Amino acid sequence: MIKQISLEANEKKIFELRELYDSYGYSHYKMSKFEEYGLYLKNKDFLVSEGVITFTDTNGKLMALKPDVTLSIVKNTLNSTNSIQKLYYNENVYRVSKSSHSFKEIMQVGLECIGSVDDYCICEVLKLALRSLDKISDKTVLDISNLDILVELQESIGVPESERPEILRLVSEKNIHELSKKFKELGIWEENTEIFKNLISISGSPEKVIPKLKSLLAGRVKAETVGNFCSIISFLADEKAVNIDFSLVDDINYYNGIVFKGFVDGIPSGVLSGGQYDKLMKNMKRSSKAIGFAVYLDMLEQLYTSTDEYDVDILLVYDSTVPPEKISRTADEMRSEGSVLAVDCVPEGIRCRKTVFLKAGGEVS
């Protein structure tokens, strides 16, 4: 029998992910495809890609096809610090592809925790990110980093604020040679340069990383910041896919604290991305905290290569003199053997396991 095609596999993943989030009590959040353009204008840098598809609604309002889901969810949730909303979504977003410079429809499944986000919530979201990756493949890695540590370390070693975005860019490239040059230009002590270099070279399981991190950052980053991070990652000590990697950075104007990215063997870029975004909440005049992630399902297609030998199991070619009822009945009977395509002439290039010719008098294989 013909195997499922990639689209079906993606649909199956959506179903499995929804089932996973349902089992943790997250509520499904269904939203409209459109959003007022003004929302993106105010938070332009939060968007992954520049460019939004816009149109004027019948009432004259400038609307957009959603390039992002998080902003809409934040806009529509209660501004409460003593309650929490746990939501998940499954939506299409419209973004400009970096390679083709044209708009693409991207299928996204994700979740958001908004409100009184505590350490348990953060751990739960990280666990759900790990379980989401498990649903995709058995060979995965979840990189986890902490932006507060990177920001505080830059402050303590005296990196001027104007240079910090450039430093973070070099960190994200694991570009130690240029980082050393840059620090030299900025007149930063060699001892501090070494600490920074060691931090971005750290990579491994929580168990391996925690002792190194504590000794490396002692006296340079607030003990509370390091302690909080270590206690959260130690909760994930049994998770084999966890990899602490400080080269993972995100926009510090929106994100803070823990950020993470999920990788699957066989897919060339991250398939899951998330983090704490308290700063975005603040920018949107919210006093509550938030954490969430999204899974980019369009990338999963690369995992499913069709190995099917045939396009269809049975090709039923009928003669124009055969009555429609007979064609329908014959095709229905054959469906127990597999998929049946009924046509009056053989389509060009089709690959089928078996061809059956149906004539008015009977059938000939």
CB of 99 to other proteins, least distance (A): 8
Q: Which of the ranges 31-39, 41-49, 264-272, 349-357 carries the binding residues for other proteins, by CB under 8 A?
A: 264-272
Residues in contact with other proteins, counted by CB under 8 A, come to a total of 19
CB of 345 to other proteins, least distance (A): 40
CB-nearer residue toward other proteins: 115 or 262? 262
Which positions from 149 through 208 interact with other proteins, judged by CB under 8 A? 173-178, 203
Q: Give the separation between CA 257 and CA 280, rounded to whole angstroms.
A: 13
The verdict on 270 binding other proteins (CB under 8 A) reads: yes
Query: If DSSP codes are grouped into helix, strand and coil, which group holds residue 146?
Result: strand
Which positions from 59 through 88 interact with other proteins, judged by CB under 8 A? none
Angle at 258 between CA 253 and CA 259, to 5 degrees: 70
Q: Give the separation between CA 232 and CA 212, rounded to whole angstroms.
A: 16
277: phi then psi, degrees, rounded to nearest 5 = -130, 55
CB-nearer residue toward other proteins: 30 or 101? 101
CB of 190 to other proteins, least distance (A): 17
The separation between the first and the last C-alpha atoms of the chain, rounded to the nearest angstrom, is 19
Strand extents, DSSP E, 166-207:
203-204
Q: Residue 216 is which amino acid?
A: L
The verdict on 101 binding other proteins (CB under 8 A) reads: no
253: phi then psi, degrees, rounded to nearest 5 = -80, -20
CB-nearer residue toward other proteins: 231 or 269? 269
Exactly one of 118, 194, 265, 319 binds other proteins (CB under 8 A); that residue is 265
Which positions from 131 through 160 interact with other proteins, judged by CB under 8 A? 139, 141, 143
Which positions from 224 through 263 interact with other proteins, judged by CB under 8 A? 243, 247, 263
Exactly one of 268, 349, 361, 362 binds other proteins (CB under 8 A); that residue is 268
CB of 183 to other proteins, least distance (A): 15
Give the side-chain half-sphere CA count within 13 A for 113: 23
Q: Which of these, 136, 111, 130, 132, lies nearest to 236 by C-alpha position?
A: 130
Is 111:293 a contact under the CB 8 Å cutoff? Answer: yes
Q: Which of these, 339, 290, 336, 295, lies nearest to 314 by C-alpha position?
A: 339
CB of 164 to other proteins, least distance (A): 16
CB-nearer residue toward other proteins: 150 or 264? 264
CB of 69 to other proteins, least distance (A): 22
Q: Give the separation between CA 257 and CA 134, rounded to whole angstroms.
A: 24
**Taking the CB of residue 48, how many other CB atoms lie within 10 A of it?**
15
CB of 205 to other proteins, least distance (A): 13
The verdict on 267 binding other proteins (CB under 8 A) reads: yes
66: phi then psi, degrees, rounded to nearest 5 = -55, 120
Residues that bind other proteins (CB under 8 A): 139, 141, 143, 173-178, 203, 243, 247, 263-265, 267-270
